[in-house]
Amino acid sequence: MVTDMTQAAKLRTLLAHDRCHIMPCCFDALSAKLIQQEGYDLTFMSGFATSASRIGQPDLGLMSYGEVLDSARNITDVIDIPLIGDGDTGYGNAMNVRRTVTGFAKAGCAAIMIEDQLAPKRCGHTPGKAVVSRDEAFDRIQAAVDAREALREDGGDILIMGRTDARHEHGLSEAIDRAARYAEIGADILFVEAPKTVEEMRTVCEALPGPKMANIVEGGETPDLSNAELHDIGFSIAAYPLSLMASAMQAMVHTLRNMRDDKRPSQMDFVDLRRRIGFDDYYEASERYASSRRS
């Protein structure tokens, strides 16, 4: 699709709407393509799911910057909807954060999330996570914002999502204070990870300005509310980082067990499978070329 609107501009337009956007999270190009095919407005490259899919390892800081960036490029190559990339801790100090933000923007991401966990980071709903000092957290967001402004000077753009995991170790007030400072520095979207009750979720939204994201992990610490409830509380985005990965894993395990018992599983029709992957589009485009028609 050819458009004059950048992915960052598309995301800003979406966030200007008075609604809570349901955001299924992808983990590779195919899952992202399916999300777009089903009519969703945006997606997020889940670090948890991407680590599981790409390297078969838990989301404990094992993927490198280069591996994450390569996954992001693969995704943006096949979708037109905005992608939010998981920039983790920025892969080093403030200067690394600047490089990370610039790389994600050049890869086609509409936004990047930068968090305040100690490296190596952990999934936000697993034990053992800790955060850096306030000063280091603020330096990361400042570096991300500086990178965004430098990109704009050269005609590029990207939104900055500031994430804090301080709720786990230091309480909700500290998390809100950090997120409020992120907004003052210039973060476009705020993400307070793992509030534990509806009251905490409402406190976050009432205390903080601008768009906020809720992270809904089935079986996690944050209440799994309806989209209408999340909108009423004040969230602009509801991220579902594991829904597709968990569904895919469950289906694969079920199929493997059926095959072991010599049973034939129910599955997507081969015609629909080819269409969703892009065979039909390929054949249509290749009709322009005589040599392709002979092959």
Count other C-beta atoms under 10 Å from residue 166's C-beta.
26
Which three-class secondary structure state does DSSP give residue 209? Answer: coil
On the question of pLDDT at 1 being above 50, the answer is no
The model's pLDDT over 51-82, given as tens digits with 9 standing for 90+, comes to 999 999 999 889 999 999 999 999 999 999 99
- Please provide residue 23's backbone torsions phi and psi, each rounded to the nearest 5 degrees: -125, 90
Query: What pLDDT is stored for residue 265 in this prediction?
Result: 79
H-helix or E-strand containing 164?
A: strand 159-164
Query: What pLDDT is stored for residue 291 in this prediction?
Result: 72
Q: Could you tell me the residue ranges of all domains in the chain? A: 7-244, 251-294
The model's pLDDT over 89-125, given as tens digits with 9 standing for 90+, comes to 999 999 999 999 999 999 999 999 999 999 877 665 5
If one looks up domain 7-244 in CATH, what number appears? 3.20.20.60
Count other C-beta atoms under 10 Å from residue 181's C-beta.
17
